[in-house]
Structure 1
Amino acid sequence: MLDVRRMQVLRAVVTSGSVTAAAANLGYTPSAVSQQVAALEKQAGTALLERVGRGVQPTAAGRLLTEHAAVISKNIAEAETALADLREGRTGRLAIRYFATAGATLVAPALAALRRTHPGVKVDLKLIDPQDPLPEVKQGRADLAVVVQPVDRPRDGVRLVHLLDDPYNAVLPKGHRLAAQRVIDLADLADEAWVGSEWPGPCLDVVLNACGAAGFSPGFVVESEDYATAQGFVAAGLGISLIPRTALGSRHPGVVVRRVRGPEPVRGIHAAVRETSLPQPALRALLDALREAAAQ
């Protein structure tokens, strides 16, 4: 196998025209340069230089290896530049997973900010079910996932970075007996027909746990598992619902929205990242942008 370092010594000899000049340029002794060329000739199985007057010139094999040495030098320089760009966050790729209501409120403005500061970073963005996206991060398929997750859950090398607390509001049909109240006690909804808006998982758990703390279990008569559809069912008079505030940007004209207390159901939204990925500049920039979007 040819030695790349010896090929670079050969290139120095060929471009400078003599062993002595190459030695001066490289900071070697002429003897060390000659030894390196001799060792490379042994590896190549043929002569690489021939004497011409007081200098040397390459043989056909020497010219061939010199040309390849130039290509190798160029590739190494490009690799070093690419590595520096990646290390400094100027290039690279981030795989991001998010759930629907986090898309418009958090992910979209955060990605716009990331594009301004790190335009060379490519983003692989995928919408996923919020039930349990942590395996995507744990197994390296995603660099970051926006999740709804209890902070005390074991995470196996995954850090949860808190972004925002998202309270649930009561969504009532217009004309409902409680519509005139600005804030509704959760227990006052115990005997209502309920419209489900959540998939089984941490979001639904937030609602069920709050209702349990208020002393009842909600009686679901319709399961929509979609916030817009849930509002439509409520507007039609089929029941009431609890929907997180971030999902109420577009409200159905046939409903009213009221705060809830005693207790107020709140889902915590976090960014899940692998501990080993945190040093990446682009990932840190994305986390900062998500925090800024959450603060807005």
Structure 2
Amino acid sequence: MLDVRRMQVLRAVVASGSVTAAARNLGYTPSAVSQQMAALEKEAGIGLLERTGRGVRPTEAGRVLSAYADVIGRHLAEAETALAELRAGRTGRLAVRYFATAGAAVVAPAVAALRREHPGVQVELRLGEAEESLLELREGRADVALMIRPTDAPPVDGLRFTHLADDRYLAVLPRGHRLAAKRELDLADLADQPWVGSDQPGPCLAPVLEACGAAGFSPGFVVESGDYATAQGFVAAGLGVALIPELGLGSRHPGVVVRRVLRPEPVRAIQAVVREPLPARPALRSLLDALGDAAAGRTPRGASPDTP
């Protein structure tokens, strides 16, 4: 196999017309250059240079190989530049997976901040279920994922979980409901109410069930909605009450009121997941910082409790 470094020495010899001049330009000794050319000719299996008085000139094989060395040299320079740009965070691509309610309030402002700081970095955004996102992270098809996951959940080999913020659940009541007159509710105030379900069993429903259990009751679900917008519609129609996380209340139904719930206050943990160890990529670190800022300081439209 031809040695690329020796090919670059050949290019210098052909360009300068002599071994001595090439050695001077490269910072080598003439004997070192001669040794490199002898080794390259052995690798090529054919003569590459011939003497012409005090200098040398390429044979036909030398001209062919020198031309390829020139192309390789340009490609190497381009590769070094591309790597430098990537290391500095000026170029590259980040694949982000997120859950639906995090899109507008967390992911959008974070990506906007990233683009201001690293305008040359491309971002691929895609909704993803937790297990699918974890698989993509392990396989290198995603760089960061946002998900709902308890902070005390067991670790996963090769992945790092960072708690960004707690998304609290708020009580959603029909307008005119007797509890709407209260600024804040004890969770036990909802014990005897019919409930509208909005989450499937899993990390989003678990905090609600655990909090209700701590308050001494189990919620009586009378209808399952499947999503937060539909749940609000059922509540507005008077079918029951619901607990919906703040991120799920980005669009408020006009027929409901929202109240804060305490004693206890149900919350779900928003976590960012990356591969371990964290790759040394400035753009990825900037995105994680921006996601943390957006999650901790979010104020989704319509998500703050009403004042009666």
The answer to whether the superposition gives a TM-score over 0.5 is yes
What does residue 253 of structure 1 align with? 254
* Runs (5+) with no aligned partner, structure 2: 299-308
Tell me the CA shift for residue 133 of structure 1. 4.2
What does residue 16 of structure 1 align with? 16
What does residue 289 of structure 1 align with? 290
Q: 2:24 corresponds to which letter in structure 1?
A: A
* Runs (5+) with no aligned partner, structure 1: none
TM-score, with length taken from structure 2: 0.91
Tell me the CA shift for residue 27 of structure 1. 2.3
Change (3 A) 1:132 1:73: closer
- Assess if the C-alpha contact under 8 Å between 1:130 and 1:147 holds in 2: yes
Q: 2:37 corresponds to which letter in structure 1?
A: V
Tell me the CA shift for residue 139 of structure 1. 4.1
- Assess if the C-alpha contact under 8 Å between 2:195 and 2:222 holds in 1: yes
Counterparts of 1:276 and 1:23, CA distance in 2: 44
Change (3 A) 1:184 1:131: farther
Q: 1:137 corresponds to which letter in structure 2?
A: L
Counterparts of 1:255 and 1:47, CA distance in 2: 87
Counterparts of 1:274 and 1:25, CA distance in 2: 45
Q: 1:77 corresponds to which letter in structure 2?
A: A
- Assess if the C-alpha contact under 8 Å between 1:143 and 1:277 holds in 2: no
What does residue 45 of structure 1 align with? 45
Q: Deviations for 1:164-204, whole angstroms, at most 9, x for unmatched residues? A: 21111110111112111111111121111110111221110
Tell me the CA shift for residue 283 of structure 1. 0.9
What does residue 192 of structure 1 align with? 193
* Structure 1 counterpart SS, 2:140: coil
What does residue 230 of structure 1 align with? 231
What does residue 271 of structure 1 align with? 272
What does residue 177 of structure 2 align with? 176
Change (3 A) 1:131 1:204: farther
What does residue 203 of structure 1 align with? 204
Q: 1:285 corresponds to which letter in structure 2?
A: S
Tell me the CA shift for residue 154 of structure 1. 1.8
Counterparts of 1:150 and 1:134, CA distance in 2: 15
- Please state if 1:157 is matched with 2:158: yes
What does residue 98 of structure 1 align with? 98
Tell me the CA shift for residue 32 of structure 1. 2.2
Tell me the CA shift for residue 131 of structure 1. 7.2
Counterparts of 2:88 and 2:158, CA distance in 1: 24
Change (3 A) 1:150 1:132: farther
Q: 1:175 corresponds to which letter in structure 2?
A: G
Counterparts of 1:194 and 1:158, CA distance in 2: 37
What does residue 306 of structure 2 align with? none
Counterparts of 2:293 and 2:166, CA distance in 1: 14
Counterparts of 1:5 and 1:132, CA distance in 2: 45
Tell me the CA shift for residue 278 of structure 1. 4.7
What does residue 143 of structure 1 align with? 143
Counterparts of 2:49 and 2:172, CA distance in 1: 86
List, as ranges, runs of 4+ consecutive aligned residues in structure 1 with deviation greater than 4 Å.
130-133
What does residue 62 of structure 1 align with? 62
Q: Deviations for 1:267-286, whole angstroms, at most 9, x for unmatched residues? A: 12121122222532111100
Identical-pair percentage: 72
- Please state if 1:218 is matched with 2:219: yes
Counterparts of 1:130 and 1:47, CA distance in 2: 62
- Assess if the C-alpha contact under 8 Å between 2:133 and 2:142 holds in 1: no
Q: Deviations for 1:257-296, whole angstroms, at most 9, x for unmatched residues? A: 1111121111121211222225321111001111221224
Q: Give the alignment's Cα RMSD to 1 decimal.
A: 1.6
What does residue 84 of structure 2 align with? 84
* Structure 1 counterpart SS, 2:168: strand
> More displaced, 256-265 or 278-287?
278-287
TM-score, with length taken from structure 1: 0.95
What does residue 112 of structure 1 align with? 112
What does residue 134 of structure 1 align with? 134
* Structure 2 counterpart SS, 1:100: coil
- Assess if the C-alpha contact under 8 Å between 1:131 and 1:202 holds in 2: no
- Assess if the C-alpha contact under 8 Å between 2:9 and 2:33 holds in 1: yes
> More displaced, 34-43 or 279-288?
34-43
